[in-house]
Amino acid sequence: MNVSIDDIQKEIIEDFSIFDNWDDKYAYIIECGKKLKPLAPEYKTETNLVRGCQSQVWLHAEHKDGLVHFYADSDAIISKGLISLLIKVLSGHKAEDIVKSDLYFIDKIGMQSHLSMTRSNGLASMLKTMKVKALLFLEQEKAN
């Protein structure tokens, strides 16, 4: 354990480097989406909904023993696969590390188009929500 956000990103970039066409890359992302543990129905709430235009994405965050854990789901499978990558990278780390993190792996694996404005339900709003939630936990930590 205690693998850093940076190390996980490098690992994902390594995983993706074997794909030489988009078909395989998306097939892998779809696989990741299918493998993501379903979010318990009680967390599929209005407040956990990440606002967007096309697909529905729910994000639940917990703060336990100084670490932030993320759980998520989506009705679209590519979104779900991309989210599972974000969870792999960010979940289980200190709030401070999450807030400070620079997620360069998205660009390196060729998924930067999912950060664009028109795919507002993709990585961009998801990532923003994860960081905002981490920031709130960080402020709670400081207040305590």
The site for other proteins (CB under 8 A) is made up of: 22-23, 26-27, 30, 53-56, 75-79, 121
Based on the residue annotation, tell me whether 32 is a catalytic residue of this protein.
no
CA 21 – CA 7 distance, rounded (Å)? 25
Q: How far is the CB of 6 from other proteins (least distance, A)?
A: 28
Q: What is the DSSP string of 46-92?
A: STTEEP-SSS-EEEEEEEETTEEEEEEEESSHHHHHHHHHHHHHHTT
User: Closest CB to other proteins among 39 and 76?
Assistant: 76
Q: Which of 53, 102, 117, 144 is catalytic?
A: 53
User: Closest CB to other proteins among 26 and 43?
Assistant: 26
Active site (catalytic) residues: 53
